[in-house]
Amino acid sequence: MKIRVERDLLADAVAWSARTLPNRPSLPVLAGLVITATESYVALSGFDYEVSTRASIEAHIETEGSVLVSGRLLADIARSLPAQPVVMAAEGSRVVITCGRSNFTLPTLPLNDYPSLPEMPQSSGTIDASLFAHAVGQVAIAAGRDDTLPTLTGVRVEVDGSTIVLAATDRYRLAVRECEWSPSDAKVHAELLVPAKTMSDTAKSLASADDVTIALAPEGERLMGFEGADRRTTTRLLDGEFPKYRSLLPSESSTHARVDTASLIEAVKRVALVAERNTPLRLTFSGAEVALRAGNGEDAQAEEVVEASIDGDDIEIAFNPGYLLDGLSSMDAATAQFAFTQATRPAVITGMVDGTSVEDYRYLLMPVRLTG
């Protein structure tokens, strides 16, 4: 194999393909990237039995072939090369990289020991790349990080015709996002559980594309694929049953409060400065304002009042300030609406546009028990 490629193209493709490589691979070859040169393209592929990545870039191919080299080392080298064309050539059990007056020699890994990458499922439809990245980001914040509860570390994906619903929860909050896409089959229906970190990283990395192709494998194959801008990834799905989250969303509320989103975010940040770990932030919705308080007794204390429009009964409730900030920061609207039933029940936060609640994104937050 011998190729000539632009340095920026190579560095970006290697970095993208190597991002999912395991830090402690179960097999040495899984730390490698497969470089395959055919016709006028170079493909860089990685796989750890859970997630596969493949990026294709244009290159001048002098000699076709494939080699396997350390992915992270290649990424570090490619990123540090001068802004000149790069020549990569396989010489026996080594790969020589030349760029300007820089030369590197890398040992190859046994390509025959590398597992075969899963086939990309057939395309099921497309979605705007920036919309997809934003929607996934809105729900992934609520996914659990406790590997002993693997079902909660995923994003629930529900596909029904032209609608996709994404949901994630860690038991303390729930985020649900509904968006439109362009399915290949108008009657398509699927329910999947995708690892949240993989889905989030993939959506962010494909955000610069025009559209993202979503590929749903036939039921039983437990695989989902994403593709955009000559880059593709597949991921194995999580097993287990996601909680029946729709029953958690209240159908009626006794109190509605509307607050300027940016003003409330800044107030929460300031008041939370005195809140120690696991210390709740108290919010009292009354009259035409919401009062935020943290700290008590001889500890540091803070209080701030923000204007609000309130319909219904006054209510005092407490939240984890970090979880509250996550939800508010994910709102697209200038006004956030809180819907309450009672102080011991979850609150639902949505955006408000022109006086109407925007229901395509809902963030449900469990309150913290008030003491004292």
Tens digits of residue pLDDT in 231-279: 999 999 999 999 999 999 998 999 999 999 999 999 999 999 998 877 8
What pLDDT is attached to residue 220?
Answer: 83
What's the pTM value of the predicted model, to 2 decimals? Answer: 0.94
**Residue 251 pLDDT:** 86
**pLDDT tens, residue by residue, 98-154:** 999 999 999 999 999 999 999 999 999 999 999 999 999 999 999 999 999 999 999
pLDDT(370) > 80: no
DSSP 28-61: GGGGEEEEEEETTEEEEEEE-SSEEEEEEEE-EE
pLDDT in tens, 49-80: 999 999 999 999 999 999 999 999 999 999 99
Q: Cα separation of 354 and 335, whole Å?
A: 9
pLDDT range class, residue 295, cuts 50, 70, 90: confident
225 in helix, strand or coil? strand
What the chain holds in terms of domains, given with CATH numbers, is 2-113 (3.10.150.10), 123-246 (3.10.150.10), 251-365 (3.10.150.10)
Give, in order, the Cα–Cα distances in Å from 299 to each of 161, 272, 274, 295, 324: 54, 13, 8, 6, 22
In eight-state DSSP terms, residue 185 is: S
Tokens read off for 142: 């609520």
pLDDT at residue 151, rounded to an integer: 96
